[in-house]
A and B are shown apart, each in its own frame.
Chain A
């Protein structure tokens, strides 16, 4: 029985040790924008934040948790930006996400994301789609106009080892969401994608 506890303890220590790698780089560094205080300032350092105004209400990343995921499955690669919709960064708000779908992009690993560098995606194009998730409901967006720009995509290397890829850029669109016109403006993201938040299955 004691040996069982010992093995369990050792296993937990190993798991926690493995998970603690580069935790500081995975933390969110939310520096308020000078002009749009509710949103994070635009950055390209992998601060793991994103923000936009969803019909003038701030939709921003949480202080903890993974703000971004890339999921490549069933012929679609989805770029998730997860956060909450609220009137302030520190208020609880409603869980919300913006999901950009790519139908002609098939990354095999997170390092393939480097090819997104300098890409401007016209969201009206049929090779892209946008979904919005508010609380538990997910809505397909009928895009009226808008774009997603990957301003800078760079490898993040720590002690000469590749850790993740940093995606930085901007977005904005006008769309019909659940038959209602919605404007998403001033969108910006600066997120790291690595083995923990890149999925292909």
Chain B
């Protein structure tokens, strides 16, 4: 029984690769843009005085949080094989990561201030009251993604994906949102306490996509990435993103003409 099962498996694999040899491989160019929204570690920092982990009796909104989201755009090439059911793709992305401490949500400012220790000597310790700290970092990202297209080529179709990426920092800048306007004169000194962003990081994501358009025509694709897991080096950095979710919008252009699926 076992030998029959093994024989059948080998035959299926052989047929699949034989068919692959007869199929003309499809190639696509993707122009893509998207965003990821990431949970971060609690901002436990020596230079901060803030409610990081308040007592249960306090309102949760009193808590100072780390937030992080990234935007990206880029291009990617995809090669299909195994009867065009499987695609492997890679390319280059420009990613901007926006990190903050103090904001209560991604797009609203903090209602509460907290303290940043920015100067200390033998006789004094100086704090600045701030609503928040923020950092923008730019990365070059190389993604490697696998997509499974299990269904027939309908004009609207669903597929699945798994991917990894490696990102390398190419620049960053930090900013401080002060409670007292005159303190803006000291922004450079206060911002100097903010750690650099990670020099590099890796990410892994699973996702589901919605393809609009026939396989041999240009099409539009929407993807949801869930989960997105991020791994940063174990060294001090401003915020440490961990995991979250994201989405991606892509325009797909077939590079092989007159193809049949």
CA distance A158 to B117 in the complex (A): 9
Q: Is the C-beta of A25 less than 8 angstroms from some C-beta in chain B?
A: yes
**Complex: chain A residue closest to B112, CB-CB:** A24
Q: Is the C-beta of B51 less than 8 angstroms from some C-beta in chain A?
A: yes
Binds A, one of B29-37, B123-131, B154-162, B232-240: B123-131
Q: Is the C-beta of A154 less than 8 angstroms from some C-beta in chain B?
A: yes
CA distance A117 to B125 in the complex (A): 14
Proximity string of chain A (46-90) to chain B, C-beta cutoff 8 Å, 1 when within and 0 when not: 100000000000000001000000000000000000000000000
Kindly state the interface size class of chain A when it binds its partner: 10 to 19
Q: State which of A27, A63, A114 has its C-beta within 8 Å of the C-beta of B123.
A: A114
Q: Whole-angstrom distance from the CB of A160 to the nearest CB of chain B? A: 7
Q: Is the C-beta of B73 less than 8 angstroms from some C-beta in chain A?
A: no
Closest 9 CB pairs of A and B: A155-B124, A157-B126, A158-B127, A159-B180, A154-B125, A154-B124, A159-B129, A24-B49, A159-B183
Given contacts A159-B180, A159-B183, A166-B125, 10 further A-B contacts (CB under 8 A): A24-B115, A25-B115, A45-B125, A46-B125, A63-B55, A154-B122, A154-B124, A155-B125, A157-B126, A158-B115
Question: What are 23 residue pairs bridging A and B, where the CB atoms are less than 8 Å apart in the complex?
Answer: A24-B49, A24-B50, A24-B115, A25-B49, A27-B51, A29-B49, A63-B55, A114-B123, A154-B120, A154-B124, A155-B124, A157-B124, A157-B126, A157-B127, A158-B115, A158-B126, A158-B127, A158-B128, A159-B127, A159-B128, A159-B129, A159-B180, A159-B183
Chain A residues in the interface with B (C-beta under 8 A): 24-25, 27, 29, 45-46, 63, 114, 117, 154-160, 166
